[in-house]
Every structure is written in structure tokens, then in C-alpha cells.
Amino acid sequence: MLSATTGSVDSNFLARARGFLVTAEKLANDPEAFAPAVRLLILQASELALKALSAVHNIKRGHDLKELMDHLKANNAVDGIAWAMLQDQVLTLTSPENYNVLRYPKDNFLFWERMIPQETKILLNAGRTIVEICQVQIDARSKAAKTS
């Protein structure tokens, strides 16, 4: 079992993100898995990883990945290349929609109900990539703080 408390605020967020991602991966391998649960776990993992990058600032409240990305950009929390890579993965997870439209769809009620295996794989890969990029950014930030 993964522990959600590892020390610093950013590492706690990352530990939680990894926990949600590991659970999503396990659930995605179950042919009887409830698709909304898999999707929600991937989104939650991604949200917590992005919040780990915000931990040194005022952490943005809410669940909207796009708003978190705006917050990271406005606070120069990551370099431009990392931000662009994260943005690509966030768009993979969310398409052009915001959190409320994704979570409470008015037109596409089946958005949460169905995921074909290929979509599950794509979303899991996007979630993994977000967590990995955030980990690399936090490690670099920690290393820079130790050398200065």
C-alpha cells in the first residue's frame, strides 16, 4: 500500500497522485470495471500532480486541470517546455472542455459511461506522463534549492 504522507507538501501531493494512478491502472485491467471510476481516478491523479507543482505558491483550489495549468503559467511554476508538455497531456485528458462540462455533461451523457480499451490506454498514458513531468520538475526544484 502506498503511503500518502511522505514529507513535504509537494511530495504528499505526488504520493497521492501516484496512488490514484496505480488504482486506475489496476481498475483499467478489470474487464468489468466501471468506466467513470477509471476516468475519475486518472483525472484525480493528474490534478494532484499539478497541485504538487503549485505547493510552493498558493495552491489553486478546485478540480479544473485547465485552471491549474493557468495558475502554473501565471506563477512561472514550471519552465515553458515543461508547461507545453503538460498542456498537451491535459488536453488529451480533457479535450477542449473544462471540468464542469466534463464532470456534468449536458449533451454527451455517455462521456463518463463508456471507454474503449484504446481510450483507456491513451488516458492512462497521459496521466502517467503528467505525474512523471511533475516529479521531474519537483526533483529539479529541490536540487536547485540544495545547491543555492
pLDDT for 129 equals 98
Find cell 454527451 and name the residue: 108
Percentage of the chain lying above the pLDDT 90 cut: 43
* 67, 101 Cβ separation under 8 angstroms: no
Q: What is the pLDDT of residues 96-125, one digit of tens each?
A: 666 666 666 666 666 666 677 788 889 999
Q: How far is 77 from 6, CA to CA, in rounded Å?
A: 22
Closest to 19 (Cα-Cα) out of 138, 136, 131 = 131
Using the predicted structure, report yes or no on whether residue 2 has a pLDDT greater than 50.
no
Q: Following CA atoms 5, 23, 119, 73 in sequence, which dihedral angle do they give, to the nearest 10 degrees? A: -10
pLDDT for 49 equals 95
Q: What is the pLDDT of residues 54-92, one digit of tens each?
A: 877 676 667 889 889 998 999 888 899 999 999 999 999
Q: How far is 82 from 115, CA to CA, in rounded Å?
A: 28
Amino acid type, 144: A
Q: How far is 123 from 126, CA to CA, in rounded Å?
A: 5
Q: Which residue has the higher pLDDT, 83 or 34?
A: 83
Q: Which domains does the chain have, with CATH numbers?
A: 9-147 (1.20.120.330)
